[in-house]
Structure 1
Amino acid sequence: MAGRGKKQKASEPSEIQDNHASTSSNGTIRKGSPRRNQRAPTSGEQSENIFLFWPNIIGYTRIVLAVASLYYMPLHPRTCSLLYSISCLLDALDGYAARFYNQSTTFGAVLDMVTDRCTTACLLVFLSSAWPRWAILFQGLISLDLASHYMHMYATLSMGESGQSHKKVDSSRSWILYQYYNNKIVLFVFCTMNELFFIGLYLLSFSSPTLSPSLLQPTPDGATAGSAQPGSPALAPISALFASPWSAGALELARANKMDSFWPWVITGIAAPVMAAKQFINIVQMVKASKWLAEGDIIRRRQLGLSKTR
């Protein structure tokens, strides 16, 4: 036992040194990988199943609801909006569960961000097909959202200290991002309003002749025109889409034809300024992440002796 104790003490300094090297270099870059320095659980220890943590289970539920909303998206605007909204609201619940059960994990943070990006992108893809003339705008929003968050998370995980989260932003790097990520109310309001704006546009594609003029296009015989074009599904002849006019899909289509555009306009109008501010934050986030990654490149080049003095 005494010999074993000496061997353990002799190994402690090197282990501490390795862990220190993996944490930071000049407070900026990690020298080693945390995975390489973390001790694997022994046979006597019970390994935790990260995938079954409560926040991650909530994340899986969000994915299921989001997929269900995509299924109903072309022809069932009310059902789709309900499922999509619940999926978005659960985004706040998984963060609360992570803090309550002390189950904050890197996997959960990445799962949460990927789910947000994918669901928003899918909704914007539908809007692109609903209004082809504005497709380039929606495609630009998708690209900005994905690029900004990917670069921010990559910079945080590669440049930050071990266990760093993409939501832990130092005020010295960006005051705007610090306020955005560290104030839970601000983060919730911005994310919620951003999604509400696109949900409002989605509902307007079914109800507003102003945005979808095809809703009022007459046919030669004076009846309402029919089109299977997404964004004007209320115009599609029910007989062209459903064999039975009394099927659930046909009835939902008939209800969509009677949808009032007042509340979708209210939702879209209220959420529009916050959505615009959210896109500005995405730009700031992408620029700051680019500069952070460039700082790391400069330091690495100096360490390798590749930098040239001018």
Structure 2
Amino acid sequence: MAQPPAKKTLSVYLYIPNIIGYFRIIINFIAFAECYTNRTLFAILYFFSSFFCDGLDGWFARRFNQASTFGAVLDMVTDRVSTACLLALLSQFYRPGLVFILLLGLDITSHWFQMYSSFLSGKTSHKDVKHTGNGLLKLYYGYRPFMAFCCVASERFCTLSCFSMLTRSPQACLIRAEVF
């Protein structure tokens, strides 16, 4: 008696959210390269596109049940690369640039520690903070509107600060900081 053909499973590398992640990596590198040309508007649009796609990959992962450890790590690394590019640019535009380098170090180490400690404790996601005593992490990962606000505010500040310097227009940055 013939067996029905086995159901083919899609490779994790071809999941929709991961393809979005690959696309984000490409547009991040294009955006970073565009910052050194005269096409500054394109650079900012690429950074905004990458940020917008960051929200899409999570939605697609949940919608099509394609969440994976690979995807979580890819998303985290892509976010860190995007932030690193923006902060590296800002460290060149504004003095003292050390402020942005310190923020870069804080961003990378804090996310790495959170992800690594989550996996060491057997959690499937670094966003699982139900049994943590840290109230700030519970607020950030447990209340999506707060996390969205923090992410959007941070990305907006960085991209508009870059846009402000690239166009030499202080009005482009909606948040003016006298420190810089």
TM-score (normalizing by structure 2) = 0.87
Structural RMSD (CA)? 1.9
Alignment of 1:65-214 (within 5 A): 65-75=27-37, 76-131=39-94, 133-161=95-123, 164-170=124-130, 172-208=132-168
CA distance in 2, matches of 1:122, 1:265: 18
Deviations 1:33-80 (A, max 9, x none): xxxxxxxxxxx6644300001111111111111111111012322110
Deviations 1:170-228 (A, max 9, x none): 254222211211222222221111011111211221344xxxxxxxxxxxxxxxxxxxx
CA distance in 1, matches of 2:131, 2:115: 17
Q: For 1:134, what is the secondary structure of its paired residue?
A: coil
Change over 3 Å in CA distance of 1:102–1:129 after alignment to 2: same
Q: For 2:106, what is the secondary structure of its paired residue?
A: helix
Alignment of 1:272-283 (within 5 A): none
Letter in 2 for 1:90: C
CA distance in 1, matches of 2:40, 2:140: 31
CA distance in 2, matches of 1:151, 1:91: 21
CA distance in 1, matches of 2:160, 2:61: 30
Q: Between Structure 1 and Structure 2, how many residues are aligned?
A: 172
The answer to whether the 8 Å contact 2:40/2:167 transfers is no
Quote the sequence identity (%).
35
Larger Rg computed on CA atoms: 1
CA distance in 1, matches of 2:133, 2:70: 25
CA distance in 1, matches of 2:18, 2:132: 31
Letter in 2 for 1:92: G
Q: Does 1:48 align with 2:10?
A: yes
After the TM superposition, list the runs of 4 or more consecutive aligned residues in structure 1 that deviate by more than 4 angstroms.
Answer: none
CA distance in 2, matches of 1:203, 1:153: 31
Where structure 1 has 5 or more consecutive residues not aligned to the other structure, the ranges are 1-43, 209-259, 273-310
Q: For 2:173, what is the secondary structure of its paired residue?
A: helix
By how many angstroms is 1:101 displaced?
A: 0.3
CA distance in 2, matches of 1:129, 1:193: 21
TM-score (normalizing by structure 1) = 0.52
Where structure 2 has 5 or more consecutive residues not aligned to the other structure, the ranges are 1-5
Alignment of 1:182-261 (within 5 A): 182-208=142-168, 260-261=169-170
